[in-house]
Structure 1
Amino acid sequence: MAALEVEPQIMRNGERCQPRELLWDFLDGGSAIINRIDRLWPPIGRLCSALRADFLHVFAVMYLTPRDSRAVPAHTDDQDVFILQLAGRKAWTVYGSPIELPCTHEQLGKTEPIARSLWENELREPILTAELAPGSLLYLPRGFVHEARCTKAGGSSLHVTLTVQTSDLNWRTFLRDGLVELQRTNEAARR
């Protein structure tokens, strides 16, 4: 395994913690989150590379969560994700998508809790509840509200989120990036 190039984030119920020592934070209920684990762990790197044959860009984030806790609150993502459960168990709850195919700036639950009015009007009932065990795979489409929690009985959990950058694959991004490149490389377009 490669030397750790990034500090893991320590999250407890959606709040970033000041890392003391990783083990003490974990024992105190904090989850260790390692972004771009595909660059550090060769088997996950090979998996992401293989998936790029079918998806334009795939990267991975690893979550180690202690029993009876959660890393982050209910939220949406601006990309499609596949959850690969490696060890332990984790209970997932998935709700609908209040914003169809959200862009990065339209994600919910990332900087502040999801509005109570959405919970009362659009997200009353989950569309899926599932407990993932080692070897389980869960697909979460872009924009669907989701949350996960380790239970006391299920022990600690280790899962990898395989992220497919779908928010960047649209006509808006294609035209924007194409016009920027045209202006950069073509004198007539620059004028």
Structure 2
Amino acid sequence: MTAPASALGRALEAAFGPDFVVHHLSTEVVLRHLDPELLREHFSWRDLNEILSRGRVEPAELKLCTGGRSLPEHAYTVTRAGHRVVDLSRTFSLMWSGASLVIDSLDRIHPAVRAATDDVMRMVGETASCNLFVTFDDAQAFASHFDEVDTFVVQVLGTKSWQVHGPSEEHPLPEYGDSDPARCPQTVLFDRTLEPGDVIHVPRGWWHTVRGGGESSLHLTFAFTRRTGYDWLRWVAYRALDSADVRESLARAGTPEEQRAQAERLVTAFVNEAKGASLRDFFDAERRRSGGRDTAGLPWDVLTARPSSGTVVELTTVQPPLLEIRGDRLVLTAADQEFVLPAAHRAACEALVRARRVGLDELAGRAGAPPAAVSALVSALLRARLVTVSDSRAEAGEGWRAS
């Protein structure tokens, strides 16, 4: 396993503990508390003001919500120089009237939140994103609802009133489930006003009712999509493409007997493939496909010189890549690609995977290898976009602020 990238990621991992994923994930509401100052270092009103002042938040998505619905975009945006931008006067007027501000996929535009989101992925082993919610007074952005994803809700500033009611059906999916608010269970299992530093895990499919706590509130929701039996079935179906029966056109004009025979061949092909495909095979295949965010590391991305003493190497993959020894070669698998390296680089690669971010000199020391050899390895991984390199004097990026 690779180390967390951010102070917030390390704090979440420590607060929820090693048994959380095995015993509590997706099954119960869990409350923990983090240092409020740590949260403010990751995101604050200043960060939000910087984002809004830019006018555009792409590739994140900004919206205003009130009374359980999203307001039309034209209510709070205006066209300037051919671009649709946020009109702050309209936005603040709507928020004054009770609208809540939501920025979906905040991790795509904010480095510190991005690092923490990647750590959530490392912690739970699933794909994650982070949304921002800003509410004033006792405003309520959405009616009682459930999400088809599991979440960590992190109260950064102010307070927010939370009631969690539990599920109305087991394991809903975007493709399956009834989200009519009338189905919200009456029983309240968790009732608390979250204060700065509070973090709750809300399982997928558990209804919740949320409103402002009477003051300004800013919270982050880390949402992660767990793999389900449906994902495994689709993966098996894809693997079954090797069978000509699966690729054959369906007998739309065939007789009932011909259609039944074709359906039986399809079932046989699928079952035969499924018998040889375990859940572990599915997880390993997913890990082989797993890459990371496409991160820039100029000037090293373009320089022909090899990184030298004083540079910091950072692994870009979210999940640790697979490392295998095949004969006298080390095969590193990530982003659905295999990278073949001399087996002598095994110790350095293993040390990099464990540390995730480490100085080149320290990496050489941990691997017991000459710095020149480790520099050559880092150059190769840099060209493959598996690491990024920065000057050791550069900031780690955890406390991003307006420049």
CA contact (8 A) 1:75 1:107 kept: no
Structure 2 counterpart of 1:163: 223
Shift of 1:31: 0.7
Equivalent-residue separation in structure 2 for 1:7 and 1:60 (angstroms) = 11
Tell me which residue corresponds to 1:10.
64
Distance of 1:156 and 1:144 partners within structure 2? 26
Contact 2:120 2:222 in 1 (8 A): no
Distance 2:128 2:164 in 1: 22
- Pick one of 212, 222, 237 that aligns with 1:150: 212
> Hey, what's the Cα distance between the residues in 2 that align with 1:88 and 1:107?
33
Distance 1:17 1:142 in 2: 26
1:44-83 correspondence runs (5 A)? 44-54=113-123, 55-83=125-153
- 1:76–1:146 CA contact under 8 A, matched in 2: yes
Q: What 5-or-longer segments of structure 2 have no aligned partner?
A: 1-49, 77-89, 249-403
What's the TM-score once normalised by structure 2's chain length?
0.41
For each residue in 1:134-190, what CA deviation from the matched residue of structure 2 results, as whole angstroms up to 9, or x when unmatched? 1110110111110111132xx011111100102xx112221213313542xx36342
1:69-127 CA distance string (max 9 Å, x none): 11111001111111001111000000021111111134454xxx422xx45xxx22201
8 A Cα contact 1:76 1:108, kept in partner = no
Aligned CA RMSD, in angstroms, stands at: 2.0
Tell me, in whole angstroms, the C-alpha distance in 2 between the residues paired with 1:75 and 1:89.
20
The TM-score normalised by the length of structure 1 is 0.84
Task: Could you tell me which runs of 5 or more consecutive residues in structure 1 were left unpaired when the two chains were aligned.
Answer: none
Offset at residue 48 of structure 1 (A): 0.9
| Contact 1:81-1:162 within 8 A present in 2 as well | yes
Distance (whole Å) between structure 2 residues aligned to residue 147 and residue 107 of structure 1: 18
**Are 1:190 and 2:260 an aligned pair?**
no
What's the counterpart of residue 124 of structure 1? Answer: 186
Q: 2:154 is paired with a residue of what secondary structure? A: strand
Is 1:96 aligned to residue 166 of structure 2? yes
Q: Which has the higher contact order (CA 8 A, sep 6+)?
A: 1
1:23 corresponds to = 92
Q: Structure 1, residues 52-85: CA drift from partner, whole Å, max 9, x if none?
A: 2232211111111111211111001111111001
Identity among equivalent pairs (%): 24
Change (3 A) 1:88 1:63: same
